[in-house]
Chains A and B, each alone.
Chain A
């Protein structure tokens, strides 16, 4: 149990376009989900907390208008990178808690050309 999926696993897009990444909890419900960003050979940086039925909570320094988060249901959160630029290229990982334990998705590799 406690499986989290992400889609797509990788995406390549042109600069200026928007990209949507989905995060799903497959066998449990989650009122909150978390979005992380990871640069090569670095740790995970928490970007925002996705809250079902309400606005996301963003960490300091994360642009709300650049990284749109929608938590449409108890099993789905989406991250949309708007007007993507090459510096947005990264590995994006989501997680969902079951009790105090976070379960992570497999990640999405975003490359912006």
Chain B
């Protein structure tokens, strides 16, 4: 069975600093990988996704993520965070095409300090 681990429950970053959120997955085949962001009381917004090809993917709001098969990782990065980036971030792995179930990590809460 597939699984996703987000080792950091809570991260605090100064505004303008760089950010990296960690995600490790376990899946037997080539995974579909996603990062979602959730603001308080809101649904999930897709930041970016990886299916195949270039292992560095660009997303919305200046985020990017890099798929590293050897490390089973899909870490999310942003070079300079903004106060509006404060939210909960979820990494998810999808099953093969035709069964679109997602398995989510436990999430990382990002706090931005001025």
Give me the interface of A with B, judged by CB distance under 8 Å. 4, 6, 32, 34, 41-44, 46, 49, 91, 93, 95, 97, 99-107, 109
Give me the interface of B with A, judged by CB distance under 8 Å. 32, 34, 36, 41-46, 49, 51, 90, 92, 94, 97, 100-102, 104-107, 109
Q: Which of B42, B100, B107 contacts A43 (CB 8 A)?
A: B107
How close is B40's CB to chain A, nearest CB, in angstroms?
A: 10
How close is A105's CB to chain B, nearest CB, in angstroms?
A: 5
A100 contacts B94, CB within 8 Å?
yes
Most central of A93, A95, A102 by chain B CB within 10 Å: A102
User: Can you list 19 A-B contacts with CB-CB less than 8 angstroms, sorted by A residue number?
Assistant: A6-B43, A34-B100, A41-B109, A43-B90, A43-B105, A43-B106, A44-B90, A46-B102, A99-B97, A100-B32, A100-B49, A100-B94, A102-B46, A102-B94, A102-B102, A103-B46, A104-B36, A104-B46, A105-B43
Most central of B43, B49, B104 by chain A CB within 10 Å: B43
**A-B pairs under 8 A by CB, number:** 55
Q: Is the interface of A mostly helix, strand, loop or mixed?
A: strand
How close is A77's CB to chain B, nearest CB, in angstroms?
A: 14
